[in-house]
Amino acid sequence: MRATKWIATAATAAGLAFSTGAGAVPVGLELMLLFDNSGSIDDTEYQLQKTGYVQAFQSASVQNAILANLTGSIAVTYVEWSGSAEQSVRVGWTLVESAVAANAFAAAINATTCVFAGLTAVQSAMNAVHLLFRTETGASANGFESPRQVIDVPGDGADNDSPGALLPSGGRDNALATGVDAVNGIAILRGGGLAAYYQANIVGSAGSFSAEASSIADFATAIERKLECEITGVPEPATLGLLAAGLVGAGIGRRRC
C-alpha cells in the first residue's frame, strides 16, 4: 500500500498554527468537505463544484444556519482527493462564527487550484482524513471540540483504486468506528447505479443522508441546501432527493491543471 501523499497549502499551515492553541474552541459542528478531484471531473466540472461551495458559504441561508446552531459557530476544512495515495488538505480547519468568517472561508476555497487528476479512491480518502477530527477520533487536538463530526462526500464514480482491505466500504466504516457521527454524500450521476453505490458504501449512520446530482445548473443550490441540513443537524433526504442537483455534462473530459 502506497504512502499517503499530503500536500500542505498556506491555508493549511495557518489552520494548523491555530490548532496548537492552549484551549479547544467549542463549536456546534466540525465539518469536513471532501472534494472529488479525480480525472473524470473535467475542467468545467471542477470549477462548477468549487464554485458551488464558494457560493454556499457566501449565501445568507448557510450563514444564518451557522449562526443559529448550538454555539453560533462551526469549524470546517476543505480536502481534495483522487487516487488511493492522493489526499490534499487545501484549506485547514477554520472557525466560522460570522458572515465575515464564512465569506473568508469561501474566498480561501476559491483561491485553491487542482492538484490531482487520477483514479477514484473515495474509501482511501475517508480512511486517510477522518483522523483530522483529532480528539474525537483518537488523534491529537485540532483546536476545536464539538458534539458532531460530519464528512461531506460528493463524487461522480464508484471506487476503483482503494486497496482491497478498504472495499467496499472500509474507509467509511473506519471513520464511523473512530467517532465520526455522519458521512453524507452527493452522487454526481453518470449512470451505472452510482446513487445505489453511495447509499450502500458512502452514507453512514442513522443521521446520514445522500443527495443525487443531476444537472450543472442546480449544483450550487443543492450544495447550499445540503450544507444547511448538515449544519442544523436536521437532514431532509426526501427534499434533497427531489432537489437533486449536480453535474451531468456533455461528455467527460480530462482536466488540465
Per-residue pLDDT of 173-220, as tens digits, reads 999 999 999 999 988 776 668 889 999 999 988 789 888 767 555 667
Q: Is the pLDDT of residue 114 over 80?
A: yes
pLDDT at site 44? 82
CA 174 from chain center: how many Å? 17
Q: Is the pLDDT of residue 118 over 60?
A: yes
pLDDT tier for residue 122 given thresholds of 50, 70 and 90: very high
Per-residue pLDDT of 42-89, as tens digits, reads 888 788 889 999 999 999 999 999 999 989 999 999 999 999 999 999
* Domain-embedded: residue 248: no
* Domain-embedded: residue 15: yes
**Among 6-15, 111-120, 194-203, 219-228, which stretch is predicted with the lowest mean pLDDT?**
6-15
Domain of residue 149, CATH code: 3.40.50.410
* Domain-embedded: residue 257: no
* Domain-embedded: residue 1: no
Task: Name every residue whose Cβ is closer than 8 Å to that of residue 47 and which is 6 or more positions away in sequence.
Answer: none
Q: Is the pLDDT of residue 223 over 90?
A: no
Tell me the residue range of the domain where 148 lies.
10-20+27-243
* Domain-embedded: residue 168: yes
* Domain-embedded: residue 131: yes
pLDDT at site 192? 67
CB 219 within 8 Å of CB 46: no
pTM: 0.84
* Domain-embedded: residue 254: no
* Domain-embedded: residue 212: yes
Domain tally, the chain: 1
At residue 66's C-alpha, the angle toward residues 80 and 142, to 5°, is 50
Q: Is 223 exposed, middle or buried (0-12, 13-18, 19+ CB in 10 A)?
A: buried
| Mean pLDDT, range 89-108, rounded to an integer | 98
pLDDT at site 191? 61
Per-residue pLDDT of 141-164, as tens digits, reads 899 999 999 999 988 889 999 999
